[in-house]
Amino acid sequence: MKRRVVKLTPQPQPKPPWADLRLRDRIKPGVRVLFVGINPGVRSAITGHHFAGYSNRFWKLLYESGLVPEPITHLDDDRFPEWGYGITNLVARPSPGIDDLRPSDYADGWRALDRKIRRYRPAIVALVGVTLYRAILPRLNAKPPLSAPVGLRPETIHGARVFVLPNPSGRNAHFSYGELLAAYRSLRRAVDSLARSV
């Protein structure tokens, strides 16, 4: 007697309610530093604000490094242009983590980011995360660095200097808070130096 094999077709999973949400960029003409994240997390997508994760230290680091003059939170991201800053993401699609991103997300995201940098002409593009820097490095026709690539880099994008910041997420165990703060203070010095040269 022949045994009948029944093939089960996996059922498509329903999309989570936040999957189609997109964050609004906070960029205006005259931006000096454009902060770029890799992509929004789920809480950022739901709240509509950048770096809104509970364990994310981005906003605290901005204040403690002197990049902003007062303590702010993700709810204040609309104020970025007050200080000559802008904020966007390489990939617009939110996800629980970067492992959910596809190669096409990076390719599409780079084309959009390249257009934004060309349009707004920031003096510095601050890439928030070493993974983000490594993701766009091939698009800049640059060789991967031998050491940890935090700080001011030799590459430029449409004349903008590239500055790499460690990812401030609480899940990033590669950098201590002291190392994160040192990197953000280094960016503040680069911004101060830029202001003096204008």
Residue 115: which CATH number? 3.40.470.10
Per residue in 125-134, pLDDT (tens digit) is 999 999 899 8
Q: Distance (Å, rounded) from C-alpha 78 to C-alpha 174?
A: 30
Q: Is residue 13 part of a domain?
A: no
Q: Is residue 80 part of a domain?
A: yes
Res 9 pLDDT > 70: no
State residue 16's pLDDT score: 87
State residue 142's pLDDT score: 75
Distances in Å between the alpha carbon of 24 and those of 3, 30, 64, 70, 153?
57, 18, 25, 23, 27
Q: What is the average pLDDT across 109-137?
A: 95
Burial category of 98 from C-beta neighbours within 10 Å (exposed 0-12, middle 13-18, buried 19 and up): middle
Q: Is residue 88 part of a domain?
A: yes
Tally of domains in the chain: 1
Per residue in 16-46, pLDDT (tens digit) is 889 888 999 999 999 999 999 999 999 999 9
Tokens of 31: 């931006």
Q: Is residue 192 part of a domain?
A: yes
Residues with Cβ < 8 Å from 55, sequence gap 6 or more? 169, 170, 171
Q: Which domain holds residue 182?
A: 33-197
- Rounded to two decimals, the pTM is 0.89
